[in-house]
Structure 1
Amino acid sequence: MEAMEEVVIIGAGISGLATALALHRKGIRSVILESSESLRASGFAITIWSNAWKALDALGIADSLRQTHLPLQRIVAKSSASGGITAQISFSAQEKRGELEGRCLRRRLLLEALAKELPPGTIRYSSKVVGIEEDGYLKLLHLADGSILKTKVLLGCDGVNSVVSKWLGLSKPSFSRRSAIRGFTEFPQGHGFKHEFLQFSGEGYRLGFLTSDEKTIYWFFTWTPTDQDRDAEDNASKMKQLILSKMHKSNLPVEIIEVVEKSEMSGLICSPLRYRWPFDLLTGNISKGNVSIAGDAFHPMTPDLGQGGCCALEDAIVLARSLGGALLEAKFCKTEEEQYEIIKKSLEKYAKERRWRSFDLVASSYLVGYIQQNDGAVVSFLRDKCLSGILARALFKKAEFDCGNI
């Protein structure tokens, strides 16, 4: 006999946990099916900008995270070729446009903060969904262990290789031909760096450094791998050598090179950068009946604006606001068909509200990454002379978005 749940969320990442918590704040119980044995934090850190802090405030967990992570004070962009500053923008200088807040959060602390607010038993680990089937107005979920779960609402928060996105008919995310290596460096006695987002662009790569707290610096390196680089993608030592060779070739400051040199090998992660073709977001199914998606299952994007996780948190608020009210209304319906129609309309409303926002962020992130990493003479000249400031302000502009309350 199949177990029955009102709402099932697939995936216990940022999107899935935030969606479950937002629904919980609305008085709606949900179950999260997570394929791994525990919370997974792929990567050390995530940059959270103003738009995502508004979502975290709505979820009620923002203040606890602020206490353990430093606010960034400015963005400094430099040329990898010359070392000269191409843009420098202080957060305080932007105050006339509204509050700006950026912090580099430890990803695991964010996941734990979301998870601990959920009722016991919400997350079911070692629960891999291998199939989705229609059953009247319900969905049947087939798990790898042979068990079957019925649900009135199915939400896919299961990342770039989403089972739910595939069921909705969305195409696989595209490979941008770029990859990213991410790492972090601990300084037991303190790092002494300013609280800023420092990045170097040009010569075929982009390199960024963000202070997380007084003792930790998170860094990333994006580039277009050659055939010779492929071996490095699965070997931490070769990854490090690859980055350092490019840094030395660009003659970057010694103190910056030392940040990468002192990074622990175990903390290095390399991954291809994927994104959903923006026009698929406009024409594809974001929802279908009582099924929808959020986070990377919806809008995988390159990390060049630092908005992937932020956008996922926005999704959670908008989705819970729309679906939560519908589920409360559906309790008074007399038939399953009436319930289904109310749920369907709420998910369509969510999809409509998020479609253009996601299109904007995915397309803008791709364009920013292309310009920042490009080593062509014309693009490099324009970037160093005028585009860096425009791109930095674009980041602020995207971060002004307010997803509202639950």
Structure 2
Amino acid sequence: MTRVERAIVIGGGIGGLTAAVALHQQGVRVTVLERAGSLEPVGAAISLSPNALRGLDVVGLGDGIRALAAWQGDGGLRAPGGRWLARTSAAAAAERFGGPLVLLHRATLVDHLAAALPSGAVRTAAAARLLDPGAVGGSGRPARVAVPGGELEADLVVAADGIRSAVRRALFPGHPGPVYSGFTTWRVVIPLPGVDFASHETWGRGRIWGTHPLKDGRVYAYAAAVAPAGEHAPDDERAELLRLYGDWHTPVPEVLAAARPEDVLRHDVHHIAEPLPALHHGRVAVLGDAAHGMPPTLGQGGNQAVEDAITLAGHLDDLPGYTAARLPRTTVITRRAVQVARVNLMTGRVGTAVRDHALVALSRAAPGLFLRGFDGIADWRPPQGTAHSSEGGSGQGRMLADTAGEG
């Protein structure tokens, strides 16, 4: 592939902006095309685990994000009545994986990434359509993208346009695309003064709930439940949460009492069950949810997008190498996230009882076992030679089993 001097990033989410920053720092002229009228992200919070933070180290943003870590002390898994099923701590997670896990509002991360780009690099209200993926070798023609009012050419196009990616469909028209994961999610970010609680996730029958503090003093709460695709509450989603979770342990009732109907976001969950044949075609690279949308049950959607972006920046002259580095890993993690969803959202009474008993027994017999589910995920490091900032950072973070709604 010829030297990349001009790049277009389609999609101004976390993966797209991280790619834009990494490319800009390599001297590439980058334009980010975002369909929405602003970069304000849809969604509530995101958990960045040590793998993504090490990726952000490469572009000099890791330590600034680590400073936002809010989880201190113990946490873990609970049953709806409040019984602890498994315990862990911020210190144990940070020690095992070489750094904290940071929960922050998506808008905060977007602001940090956008601030690292030159003025004018991001165009909002700019719907983009891939006209030609271009070619490498031979004619070496550039890729072409249609934008409002004309066309743009580039040596590289980064498709970061989400799980419903139009670019993915254009590149791989025979691919079946995303499938419904079988459950829906709700998310809330609100102030909750005067309520003390340990950071936790709670598993019921076909339902989960999580409550976690943010650095700015607010609380991030999320829920997931097995439900038909496209279903919505007959009144409002806060009322639906009250029906499903109103009798669960504290602080769940307190969160629901403090939330307003307009504070609650609801989204069905989809994932890409069949891996793409490649993560590139011509001069186009696909990353993030567009490439491997996954259930949020490992909290890795955004984290894998960061990994994609950093890895892509190291393979600008070798897109097949980008595919080789990322496709096997993201395929494994997507399948693992699907498997975890089957466990924490199981609906059978007997199976749920067996699951909970096993969690308690394993937690008592081998406390460190709780964190092993993230071995091979949270311990990822950028390709050799890419990192230039401090690695690992300081502070503590959260390493619970899942965080819903983090695509």
TM class by smaller structure = 0.7 to 0.9
SS in 1 for 2:163: coil
Per the TM alignment, residue 95 of structure 1 is displaced from its structure 2 partner at its CA by 5.7
Per the TM alignment, residue 69 of structure 1 is displaced from its structure 2 partner at its CA by 4.0
> For the aligned residues, what is the CA RMSD?
2.4
Q: Distance in 2 between matches of 1:95 and 1:275?
A: 29
Per the TM alignment, residue 97 of structure 1 is displaced from its structure 2 partner at its CA by 3.3
SS in 1 for 2:266: strand
SS in 1 for 2:113: helix
SS in 2 for 1:207: strand
Q: Distance in 1 between matches of 2:98 and 2:5?
A: 40
Q: Distance in 1 between matches of 2:125 and 2:94?
A: 46
Q: Distance in 2 between matches of 1:190 and 1:113?
A: 30
Residue from 255, 263, 272 that aligns with 1:276: 272
Q: Residues 191 and 214 of structure 1 are in contact (CA less than 8 Å); yes or no, is this contact kept in structure 2? A: no
Q: Distance in 2 between matches of 1:207 and 1:134?
A: 42
Match of 2:392 in 1: none
Q: Residues 91 and 100 of structure 1 are in contact (CA less than 8 Å); yes or no, is this contact kept in structure 2? A: no
SS in 2 for 1:126: coil
Match of 2:131 in 1: 132
Per the TM alignment, residue 304 of structure 1 is displaced from its structure 2 partner at its CA by 0.6
Per the TM alignment, residue 74 of structure 1 is displaced from its structure 2 partner at its CA by 4.0
Specify whether residues 35 and 180 from structure 1 end up closer, same or farther in structure 2 by C-alpha distance, changes over 3 A only: same
TM-score (norm 2): 0.84
Check if 1:192 corresponds to 2:196. yes
Match of 2:218 in 1: 216
Unaligned ranges ≥5, structure 2: 364-368, 388-407
Once the two structures are superposed, what CA deviation does each residue of 1:173-201 show, in whole Å capped at 9, x if it has no partner?
111121101112213x454334x3x1111
SS in 2 for 1:30: strand
Q: Distance in 1 between matches of 2:275 and 2:98?
A: 33
Residue from 378, 381, 384 that aligns with 2:356: 384
Per the TM alignment, residue 379 of structure 1 is displaced from its structure 2 partner at its CA by 2.6
Q: How does 1:88-103 map to 2 (within 5 A)?
A: 88-94=87-93, 97-103=96-102
Residue from 200, 203, 208 that aligns with 1:201: 203
Q: Residues 61 and 113 of structure 1 are in contact (CA less than 8 Å); yes or no, is this contact kept in structure 2? A: yes
Amino acid at match of 2:263: G
Q: Residues 33 and 127 of structure 1 are in contact (CA less than 8 Å); yes or no, is this contact kept in structure 2? A: yes
Q: Give the number of the structure with larger relative contact order, counting CA–CA contacts within 8 Å between residues 6 or more apart.
A: 2
Residue from 158, 171, 179 that aligns with 2:184: 179
Per the TM alignment, residue 123 of structure 1 is displaced from its structure 2 partner at its CA by 0.8
Match of 2:25 in 1: 25
Match of 1:286 in 2: 279
Q: Distance in 2 between matches of 1:355 and 1:72?
A: 35
Specify whether residues 292 and 242 from structure 1 end up closer, same or farther in structure 2 by C-alpha distance, changes over 3 A only: same
Per the TM alignment, residue 134 of structure 1 is displaced from its structure 2 partner at its CA by 5.4
Q: Distance in 1 between matches of 2:111 and 2:94?
A: 31
SS in 2 for 1:46: strand
Residue from 160, 167, 179 that aligns with 2:163: 160
Per the TM alignment, residue 259 of structure 1 is displaced from its structure 2 partner at its CA by 1.2
Check if 1:77 corresponds to 2:56. no
Specify whether residues 238 and 378 from structure 1 end up closer, same or farther in structure 2 by C-alpha distance, changes over 3 A only: same
TM-score (norm 1): 0.84
Specify whether residues 6 and 104 from structure 1 end up closer, same or farther in structure 2 by C-alpha distance, changes over 3 A only: same
Tell which deviates more after alignment, 110-119 or 124-133.
124-133
Q: Residues 208 and 221 of structure 1 are in contact (CA less than 8 Å); yes or no, is this contact kept in structure 2? A: yes
Match of 2:44 in 1: 44
- Which of the pair is proportionally richer in helix? 1
Specify whether residues 267 and 395 from structure 1 end up closer, same or farther in structure 2 by C-alpha distance, changes over 3 A only: farther
Match of 2:372 in 1: 393
Per the TM alignment, residue 372 of structure 1 is displaced from its structure 2 partner at its CA by 0.3
Match of 2:122 in 1: 123
Specify whether residues 202 and 112 from structure 1 end up closer, same or farther in structure 2 by C-alpha distance, changes over 3 A only: same
**Length, aligned pairs only:** 368
